[in-house]
């Protein structure tokens, strides 16, 4: 268990009267007989979650987008947000850009900003998001079933590649670097409600810490395991060519979704996704083996290392 999870479990996890408390992408409280409110909070701290050089416009976008993905991961629709910011000084041009990015993202995902807090401190943005989800369509991490297909929305790995470009750990063509950095700065979470309205999926999580770390949360909650096939991962041509699958497996910041669904829904998911122009890729299976297995493009098992993003390292 990560140190972060250990802290949460030891000090904060208590019994709750809410239908779902700590341990998923969002907590659930009753809205009415048919719907829940889904509530979640994500924070971006300077130097931990973003480089000080991050453009303010992109930071405003990203601070909200990383919360939107948590509501999508519950099968819900984001509705309202409270925005808490800590800044060192009242730099007006920075605030103007930051708020513009925030409002652009709010408009795109149908979120209204209804409150927040403004304080002085090291730059940090913490957003509480509130969404609505139909009880019948809710997706919990614990919902995966044996033999489910594992699906991933959008493309993954580019955000982590973008971070390596910014840190000069890797050099790509100008266009490739620009695209990767854009994915890091401006994540675009995928709304799967147009598919989940037919209740096609069993479980979901958003990918903030890499496929291995985040899929593990589903598997632990569901008491199951998985086989993942690298050849099927929705990664860029460069990652495929270089076999740099670690960017997708262990790199964070994609904010796409991992979902599981019964095999019998496979063709329906593919057909509906094509109709809705929604990118979703089948990448593996849920198993009841002892541990998760990842297979390289030649079908050989790869060593799984424990290196998804962690806030506290033992």
Q: Among the candidate windows 20-28, 179-187, 260-268, 294-302, which touches ligand ADP by CB under 6 A?
A: 20-28
Q: Among the candidate windows 19-27, 111-119, 189-197, 278-286, which touches Mg ion by CB under 5 A?
A: 19-27
Q: Among the candidate windows 17-25, 28-36, 54-62, 184-192, which touches ligand ADP by CB under 6 A?
A: 17-25
Matching residue, tokens 């910014």: 166
Q: Among the candidate windows 113-121, 154-162, 202-210, 233-241, which touches Mg ion by CB under 5 A?
A: 202-210
Q: Among the candidate windows 30-38, 64-72, 239-247, 265-273, which touches Mg ion by CB under 5 A?
A: 64-72
> Smallest gap, in angstroms, from Cβ of residue 54 to ligand ADP?
19
Should residue 3 be labelled a site residue for ligand ADP when binding is judged by CB under 6 A? no
What 3-state class would DSSP assign to 194? helix
> Smallest gap, in angstroms, from Cβ of residue 176 to Mg ion?
28
* One character per residue 51-90, x = contact with ligand ADP (rule: CB under 6 A): -------------------x--------------------
Of 70, 148, 191, 253, the one binding Mg ion by CB under 5 A: 70
> Smallest gap, in angstroms, from Cβ of residue 253 to ligand ADP?
12
Question: CB-wise, 155 or 208, nearer to ligand ADP?
Answer: 208
CA distance 82 to 59: 16
Cβ neighbours, 10 Å, residue 41? 15
CA distance 234 to 172: 19
Should residue 206 be labelled a site residue for Mg ion when binding is judged by CB under 5 A? yes
Give the residue from 214, 199, 291 showing the smallest Cα distance to 24: 214
Should residue 25 be labelled a site residue for Mg ion when binding is judged by CB under 5 A? yes
Distances (CA, A) of 222 to 1, 66, 120, 306: 16, 24, 42, 20
Question: CB-wise, 27 or 165, nearer to ligand ADP?
Answer: 27
CA distance 6 to 40: 19
Should residue 254 be labelled a site residue for ligand ADP when binding is judged by CB under 6 A? no
DSSP 254-276: ---EEEEE-GGGHHHHHHHHHHT
Should residue 25 be labelled a site residue for ligand ADP when binding is judged by CB under 6 A? yes
CA distance 228 to 260: 12
Residues paired with residue 28 on neighbouring β-strands, in sequence order: 20, 38
* One character per residue 192-221, x = contact with ligand ADP (rule: CB under 6 A): ----------------x-------------
Of 35, 42, 58, 191, the one binding ligand ADP by CB under 6 A: 42
Q: Going by C-beta distance under 8 Å and a sequence separation of 6 or more, which residues neighbour residue 59? A: 44, 50, 98, 101, 125, 185
Q: Going by C-beta distance under 8 Å and a sequence separation of 6 or more, which residues neighbour residue 277? A: none
Should residue 23 be labelled a site residue for ligand ADP when binding is judged by CB under 6 A? yes
Question: CB-wise, 94 or 250, nearer to ligand ADP?
Answer: 250
Question: CB-wise, 42 or 253, nearer to ligand ADP?
Answer: 42
Q: How far is CA 180 from the centre of its chain?
A: 17
CA distance 150 to 228: 8
CA distance 26 to 41: 8
Residues paired with residue 37 on neighbouring β-strands, in sequence order: 29, 132
Residues lying near ligand ADP in the complex (CB under 6 A) are found at 8, 12, 22-25, 42, 70, 208
């Amino acid at each position: 268990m990560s140190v972060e999870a250990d802290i949460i479990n030891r000090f904060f996890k208590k019994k709750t009267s809410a239908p779902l408390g700590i341990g998923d992408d969002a907590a659930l409280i009753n809205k009415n007989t048919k719907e829940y409110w889904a509530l979640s909070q994500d924070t971006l701290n300077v130097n931990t979650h973003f480089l000080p050089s991050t453009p303010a416009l992109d930071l405003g976008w990203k601070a909200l987008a990383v919360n939107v993905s948590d509501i999508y991961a519950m099968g819900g629709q984001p509705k309202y947000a409270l925005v808490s910011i800590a800044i060192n000084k009242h730099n007006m041009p920075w605030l103007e850009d930051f708020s513009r990015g925030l409002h652009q993202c709010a408009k795109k995902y149908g979120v209204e900003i209804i409150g927040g807090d403004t304080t002085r401190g090291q730059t940090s943005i913490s957003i509480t998001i509130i969404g609505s989800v139909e009880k019948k369509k809710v997706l919990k991490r614990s919902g995966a079933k044996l033999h489910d297909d594992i699906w991933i929305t959008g493309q993954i790995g580019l955000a982590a590649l973008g971070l390596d470009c910014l840190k000069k750990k890797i050099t790509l063509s100008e266009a490739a670097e620009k695209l990767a950095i854009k994915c890091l700065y401006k994540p675009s979470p995928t709304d799967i409600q147009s598919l989940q309205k037919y209740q096609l999926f069993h479980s979901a999580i958003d990918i903030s810490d890499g496929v291995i770390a985040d899929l593990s949360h589903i598997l632990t909650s569901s008491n199951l395991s998985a086989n993942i096939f690298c050849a099927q991962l929705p990664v860029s041509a460069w990652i495929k060519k270089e076999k740099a699958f670690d960017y997708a497996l262990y790199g964070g910041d994609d904010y796409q979704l991992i979902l599981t669904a019964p095999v019998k829904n496979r063709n329906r998911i593919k057909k509906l996704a094509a109709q809705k122009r929604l990118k979703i890729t089948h990448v593996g299976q849920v198993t009841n083996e002892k541990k998760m297995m990842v297979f390289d493009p030649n079908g050989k098992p790869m060593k799984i290392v424990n290196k998804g993003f962690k806030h506290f390292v033992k």
